[in-house]
């Protein structure tokens, strides 16, 4: 008999494009613990804050006092704390300044190198090359493999949305 759907909870972590919509708790620490699940305590909160390059003292900060980039990192920390098999991120670099973008790309590359499957929805192909081993595009409702690049260029498509 197939296993119940409830046994699959947490296997896929999803990061929204707008991080603020994903944050539900009052403090950063509470948010990470809630997102990470019952097994996540303060030690794990500190570990994932280190991974996303936020100071451990931020665990006590109110979520509504964070910048957009900090919110994005807190969401990512909560997802990592859950230890999903697959991480799906929608525009994970949106709204980040260049140094923060580089840090997030480096973190995603490390997670990928450690064996995590990561699916990224983004318009920013170049910044994510070190993370993504395969790229597909959605054009007019069809998935196109990266091998379509020459065809797309011939038709004037520059990689943006259609």
Candidates 31, 38, 91, 129; catalytic one: 91
Q: What distance in Å separates the CA atoms of residue 2 and residue 93, rounded to the nearest whole number?
A: 38
- Give residues with Cβ within 8 angstroms of 114, minimum separation 6: none
126 is catalytic: no
**Sign, CA torsion 160/15/28/83:** negative
- Give residues with Cβ within 8 angstroms of 72, minimum separation 6: 15, 19, 92, 94, 95, 96, 104
Q: What distance in Å separates the CA atoms of residue 28 and residue 37, rounded to the nearest whole number?
A: 14
Q: What distance in Å separates the CA atoms of residue 36 and residue 80, rounded to the nearest whole number?
A: 7
- For residue 150 the two structure tokens come to 């020459």
Which residues does the annotation mark as catalytic?
A: 91
């Amino acid at each position: 008999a197939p296993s119940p759907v409830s046994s699959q909870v947490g296997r896929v972590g999803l990061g929204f494009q707008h991080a603020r919509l994903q944050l539900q708790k009052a403090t950063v620490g509470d948010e990470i613990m809630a997102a990470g699940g019952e097994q996540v305590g303060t030690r794990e909160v500190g570990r994932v804050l280190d991974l996303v390059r936020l100071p451990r003292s931020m665990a006590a900060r109110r979520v509504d006092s964070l910048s957009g980039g900090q919110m994005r990192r807190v969401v990512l920390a909560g997802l990592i704390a859950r230890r999903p098999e697959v991480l799906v991120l929608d525009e994970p670099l949106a709204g980040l300044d260049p140094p923060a973008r580089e840090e997030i790309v480096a973190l995603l590359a490390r997670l990928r190198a450690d064996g995590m499957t990561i699916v990224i929805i983004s318009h920013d192909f170049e910044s994510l090359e070190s993370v993504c081993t395969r790229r597909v595009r959605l054009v007019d409702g069809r998935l196109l493999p990266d091998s379509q690049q020459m065809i797309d260029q011939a038709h004037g498509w520059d990689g943006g949305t259609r």
